[in-house]
């Protein structure tokens, strides 16, 4: 905490004391080998007004320079129209630091990870934590429900490992938000597709894998019964197509890059 003898609206003076408090806070965490995951800065102004900023990080951080930049981005949105009487900096959440030793002969991507984490931190401050999301796999039979999005700064989730324990079947890199209905020709109604039309183009299939049958339980309101095929066309493009077994119509669900 820092209490001013006389209130001030001088931004440079306030930022100077915030930096001093940050240095003290990092010194307290150093013996524990902990880094900061979430910082709370409270500015108490005349008349009982309080302004608070919260700075979250995707990984434990102990570098003073990077933390100063993140706090500075947040403080840009604070207007010191009333005199500040005191400041309080709180380590709201900490975690053990991760250390990695670089090798002489193997390229280490540690610096790339740090740059990525730094970018996520800055974007989360600029745009808001709920605007910067990270995808993770969810074990659900229905492909549209097999991905979950959560804030990238959600440190309660262990992103280092997938919640899926079993080996996943081959899936396209590009999955459409909603399956697109297409016209398909096949030898028999329940057979594999021979050709299909999509986006005003005709595609001839050369290789077909499948079917892979995907069904959900009767208790789900939008229960599905689908036969999926992986097809490679004569133009060497690969698509993920399914036939609804109840309606016998065809849909294009994704593309393999």
pLDDT tens profile 84-138: 999 999 999 999 987 655 555 545 566 677 788 889 988 988 888 888 988 887 8
Distance between CA atoms of residues 67 and 37, nearest Å: 10
Are residues 41 and 52 in contact, defined by beta-carbon separation less than 8 angstroms?
yes
CA 53 to chain centre: 22
pLDDT of 188 reads 84
pLDDT of 165 reads 42
Q: Provide the whole-model pTM.
A: 0.59
DSSP 8-state code for residue 170: P
pLDDT of 157 reads 45
Residues of the chain with pLDDT under 70: 99-111, 155-169
pLDDT of 235 reads 93
Distance between CA atoms of residues 102 and 177, nearest Å: 41
């Amino acid at each position: 905490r820092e209490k001013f003898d006389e209130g001030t609206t001088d931004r440079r003076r306030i930022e100077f004391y915030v930096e001093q408090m940050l240095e003290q806070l990092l010194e307290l965490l150093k013996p524990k080998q902990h880094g900061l995951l979430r910082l709370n800065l409270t500015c108490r102004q005349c008349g009982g007004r309080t302004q608070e900023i919260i700075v979250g990080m995707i990984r434990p951080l102990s570098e003073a320079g990077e933390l100063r930049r993140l706090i500075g981005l947040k403080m840009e949105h604070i207007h010191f129209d009333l005199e500040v009487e005191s400041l309080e900096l709180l380590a709201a959440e900490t975690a053990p630091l991760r250390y990695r030793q670089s090798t002489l002969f193997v390229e280490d991507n540690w610096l790339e990870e740090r740059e990525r984490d730094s970018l996520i931190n800055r974007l989360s401050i600029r745009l808001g934590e709920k605007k910067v999301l990270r995808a993770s796999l969810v074990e659900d039979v229905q492909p549209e429900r097999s991905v979950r999005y959560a804030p990238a700064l959600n440190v309660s989730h262990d992103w280092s490992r997938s919640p899926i324990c079993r080996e996943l079947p081959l899936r396209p890199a590009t999955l459409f938000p909603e399956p697109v209905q297409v016209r398909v020709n096949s030898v028999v109604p329940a057979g594999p597709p021979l050709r299909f039309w999509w986006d005003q183009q005709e595609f001839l299939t050369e290789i077909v894998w499948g079917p892979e049958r995907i069904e959900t339980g009767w208790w789900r309101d939008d229960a599905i019964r689908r036969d999926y095929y992986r097809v490679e066309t004569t133009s060497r493009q690969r698509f993920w197509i399914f036939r609804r077994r109840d309606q016998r119509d065809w849909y294009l669900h994704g593309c393999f890059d």
